[in-house]
C-alpha cells in the first residue's frame, strides 16, 4: 500500500519537474511525508 502510494507520488513529482518546476529533494520528501494519512504514522520521521 505504501509502495503504490510512493510510486504514484514519484510520478506526480516527475510531471511537475517535466512542466518546468524545480523542487529540491527536501521539498519532495516533505511532500511525501505530508501526503501520508494517519494509518502510515509509523513511516513518518520526527
How many whole angstroms separate alpha carbon 38 and alpha carbon 2?
12
pTM summary value? 0.68
Which residues are within 8 A (CB) of 33 and not within 5 positions of it... i.e. 6 or more apart? 43, 44, 45
Going from N- to C-terminal start, the domains of the chain cover 1-41
pLDDT digits (tens, 9 = 90+) for 24-40: 999 998 898 888 888 77
How many whole angstroms separate alpha carbon 3 and alpha carbon 19?
25
pLDDT at 42: 74
Amino acid at each position: 500500500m505504501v509502495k503504490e502510494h510512493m510510486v504514484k507520488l514519484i510520478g506526480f513529482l516527475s510531471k511537475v519537474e517535466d512542466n518546468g518546476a524545480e523542487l529540491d529533494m527536501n521539498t519532495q520528501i516533505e511532500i511525501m511525508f505530508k501526503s501520508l494519512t494517519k494509518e502510515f504514522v509509523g513511516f513518518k520521521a520526527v
